[in-house]
Structure 1
Amino acid sequence: MNIPQKLYFIFICTFIWGGLLGCIAIAMNSETQSLVLRVDRNIAVEAHSSSMEQQLAKHAQSLVAAIAAADRQIAVSTIASIATAIIAVSLFYRSSLKSLERSQTDEQSDRDDSVRQAEITINKEKEIEAKLTKINRCLLSFCTDPSGNINLLTALLGELLGASCTLYSSLDHGELCAVGQWQTPSEFERVNRTEGRICHDLIQQNSDEVWVLSDLLTTKYAQTEPSIQAHNINTYIGKVVKCQQQVVGCLSAWYTTTYIASEIDRQIIDIIAAAIGIEEERRATQKSLQDEQRYALAAQAARDGLWDWNLNTDRIYLSKRSQMLMDLAVENSQTSATEFFQRIHPADLNAVQIALGEHLAERTPQFESEYRITLADGSDRWLLCQGLALRDAEGKPYRIAGSQTDITERKQAEVQLRYQAYHDEQTGLPNRILLMERLRRAIDKQKYQEDYLFAVLFLDIDRFKVINDSLGHSCGDRMLKAIASRLQTCVRPGDTIARLGGDEFTLLLEAIGDEQEALQIAERIQQRLALPFYLGEHEVFASASIGIALSTLDYEYPEDLLRDADTAMHRAKTLGKARTETFDPSMHGHAMARLQIEIDLRKALERQELRVFYQPIVSLKTGKITGFEALVRWQHPTSGMIPPIKFIPVAEETGLICAIGWWVLQQACQQTRYWQERFPSEPPLTISVNVSGKQFTQSNLIEQVDRILQETGLAPTSLKLEITESVLVENAEAAAAVICQLRAMGIQFSIDDFGTGYSSLSYLHRLPIDTLKIDRSFVNNVDCEPEKIEIIRTIVALAWNLGMNVVAEGVETKTQMYQLQALKSEYGQGYFFSKPTDSEAVEALLMTQPDWEQDLRAMAQSVQGKRSKTIKP
């Protein structure tokens, strides 16, 4: 029997036994009828409780009634008990059977759920184990390159999370730069740190939690993130990466579908973000080491000395180079601040302390000062000291460190260049610039000192050209030096003797009593010059035409004084030379002549009397013509060819120089473009055009140059504009702005007649100048005057250090060309190659294309042969 049948049998037996016992008890009860009635009621209740047993209840009631009618009390009780038991057993059986079935069903369902749950747990554990294994393998495969490791981790994140693409962006000076990426579109590579971008917002929150955003197409980021709409991105998961508690980047995964990040996914992102943070620290450490090594190498190469001042202990660490520079012997590489400052020249100490105080007070971005160190032998060494202060959280400096550089040679070069800027190289006398400054001071002094009187003497050596042409330039130069020496014996202390160029000298006589005193000095000069000059085997005599301009006319400008003295000098020369004339306002002859030049010059443009001549510029390396300089000439209908020195000053004074300059530029660019097409070369021929100071100050300068280039079709890179040093000095800031704008167009710039004026090295360093043109006065007689070689070598070295080319003007002999080539001057220009000539002659020159390289090669071979003979025993 099965379990339900057994239970049914047990319950039947139990209740039959109970019924028998009940019959016995009833038989003993005297109140049989009452019992029957109670049984009747119980049966009715039981029948009512189960609708399925209604028929059985009715049958039981009929049986009880029959028994009662027969008045057989015991039988009635027994039968009633049996019926009741049968009903109870039936009801209990049905209830037990149903309960048992439900229990079995629930037990089976629980067993199935447990099995399924176990299987799910096992699968999850296997999946987690597999992912952790992959992470472990990735970490074990790391190389020494942190960036490569970061890229591996980024790709692993995408693989483990099933992302469409993953990206790690590192913060780099306010921008996010992609370091690691996996299946990432190009626009993810670098993004400006702008408000509204997902990664930037995450970084700004600076939270350690994983950030999950879904339905991105419906958020504000759909407008601020171009990649969302472009690639249909739906879900973003991101986390900031930290290194030493500082946010260094952002790790993110991007999905084109809706993705719900599980707790395991979040833990994986945490693990990979932490690993990337470690690699970022390694990357920063490597970069720091590289920077330190690079700085050490740079400092060693630059021969800089290092210093480190602990402001709390007042001790200064000095590297060995710093100790040597400061002439200190410190065994432990440290010295006190007091001893350090004692080494500085007393005249420079105050400036150093002021500069240091300004930086420590945060009024300057860095400390920088130049000072002298007095060495044991009494000489001075110039040092450039630079440094930066380190500050605590409150902004208080506790340390300052930096470097020291020996700038003695630079200072000496500056002194030499400054001397050259204010002095004539040939005679050592002050030049025009220094004279004009002293004239300006004298005029200003007279304004507040009414009885102050001074005079300007303008000297022109008579017939000097004859001496120069007959005896040669070498003798002419020596004569000029001898004249300068004699002039110095004729003046008083405090007076100024200047050489303006050629055979013209100017004297400034300050604090004279009256005109007669100036005339006496002029007479003394005439007497000294009348004495013979001995130039080698030659005895030479000289005289001078002298013009005097007195300050009694209340001059405003030095140029006016010089002009009137020049007018008086020309008057003296016209009247027979070797004489002195004082300027008189009635002297209108010369002024009228100049006025006539002005009138004729205005008509010269209309009548097309001006001509553009061209002088080649030759490479001293290849011997090839690389370009030309455009020079203006005036073909006067009655006076013939007038040189520039006669009409350019008038043009400058009257402002006509601007119209002439633009005309020359137009003609030169047009002609050069024609030559480039007819005589193609690589690189193309260039044209150098002088720009006057007045042109350079015109407001439409840039527009004019651009218009001419557009009209002529000449490339900006083929044009070189030549300016003088005075243009930079007169208005440095404005000149710098114009030069930078034109240079941005591709136009090159040259400093013309370099060394004869004044140039600030700071301007040369800051401005985009391409070429320095060495003035012809330095090139003349370079073969017989060693000091000129040193000057040229200095200028060439300066140009090279500033990244500039060098063109030597006034090359007239082969020897000069060879020496300039040996001095590493890259280009030459002068009569040796060609005089300034018209365009037709230039075309003939270009067609023959003379190759001076052969001369250079022949000279080099000759020099080598002489050396070989010298070496032989």
Structure 2
Amino acid sequence: MLQNEQERLEVLRRYEILDTPPEAAFDRMTRIVARQLMVPIAWISFVDQYRVWFKSVWGLELSQIERSKSWCQQVIFQADTVMLPEILPGEWGDLGGDPTISPAFYAGVPLKTVDGWILGTLSVLDRIPRQLNSDQLTLLEEIAATVLDELELRLALRKARESEARLHTLVEQLPFEFWLRDVSGKCLMQNSTSIERWGNQIGQRPEASGLSPDLLATWQTSNQRALTGEVVQGEVQYHHQGRSHTFFNIVAPIWEAAQITGILGVNIDITERKRVEEALQESEAKFRTLAEMVPVGILIATGARIRYVNSAMSAITGYSREELLAMTFWYVMAPDSRDLMREQWLANQNAAFPSRYEMKILTKHGLQRWLDITTSSIEFAGHPATLGTAFDITDRKRVEEQLVYDAYHDPLTGIPNRALFQDRVGQAIRQAKRSKESLFGVLFIDLDHFKTINDTLGHLVGDQLLIAIAQRLRACLRPTDMVARLGGDEFAILMEKVKDIEDTIYVSDRILKTLAEPFYLDGHEVTISASIGVTLYRPDYNSPEDLLRDADLVMYHAKAAGRGCYKVFDPAMIAS
């Protein structure tokens, strides 16, 4: 089986292509391949766990065969195009046990996803030996890419349907009325809350909905304004069964590819709230009341000047409402990201649709916090303004930063791990190749008889010893140097900007002396030594592995010399 075969199979099943009926799109591709390459047989197949299943076959009737008998297996293992210009009789056996095929030529291209997973092959077969020229191979590879495009399209359509279903569920759960209409006014979607009040209007235009003339005129005016790109919001009143009802109505355009393809509407019954808030007459005041009820930071700004903030925004920033209203928005941005954020904020002020980005701020108490900001253009006090909503994502950012840190640091000692060490050595190599003066050295350190200590005193003492050794190694280095734990009882040190080998020898001597001093751990006096291999950068080093290899090699020379010492790499050691 291939490495990560289980993951590959999971990716294959994600496309839901296996055991599906024939489709014209795939049949057309095999037909084109067969005709353009002038071969009698072509197929699109997908490699399952124990079988190869054929989605489309040209020139042959075949649905599936055992994977072990599959001609596609070679393509899967090589992860590249395979061409066998002359197949000897019996060399590969029969395709699916059919002795009439007598293959003499085969070519297969892997069906590889953008993530590198190989799902199957696009293959051609001939009964006579032949070769494919570069143009023909390119055609075969381009058709294979088209097969993957078709699969991705199917997957995207399925996800779109699932997304639509989730949207429908969400709309049905809204505690207020919601509807969608196309540009002609025909109702495309309406939740049950809206149906209960107005009846089922799906497929109807407003004029056929049975609304009163006054209410119909109000709705049509709002719809027409929204079709020009305006977000229309305001109160709508109507009388029903002797009672007066007030709705807060929002009608907004739906944008797709910079074009308005429809409108959506929200009707929130605010009758009871209006009765309680008789003093609130303007929509701005109602908005402020709603904003104070949500646990999301909200602000309105004209240019950079803050005009309104809710209590949640005040709590996030640490500034009082009065303090925020007296400052510009730039003031709360973190200094190291202020220029970039200012550019984004100003660029999005007049955007036709909402913009979203992450922003780092500095609170009144000097703490940095991350916000997920969404901005949109509105009108405030008769002037263009920006409405911003902010979610505090500081905790999420910390988790992300911790995950990145954990990926590059040893969990026991807290020092860099092999991945980060190799990355730094790689940077040092690139710098050294650009500048002849950028000399650096690598020390490979292996603790002597650590296993004996671990087995005798226990893993707890062994772990404490590794932590203590990491601390002593740090103390022996300059701030620009790096010490890393490669694994087990192996450490490595990168010394940048050294003058010559004497700098690394000096540090090696210092390390041996400091490690020779006893460790007092959990009531035990522990002594240990180390063997160190030292190598300096040479122009023929091209990768971190090259330096680690030679440093590791010379470290074993140090062990052979009696341990507790260092040795410097000499290319002659490779021959010996």
- Scaled by the length of structure 1, the TM-score of the pair is 0.34
**Structure having the higher Rg:** 1
- Scaled by the length of structure 2, the TM-score of the pair is 0.50
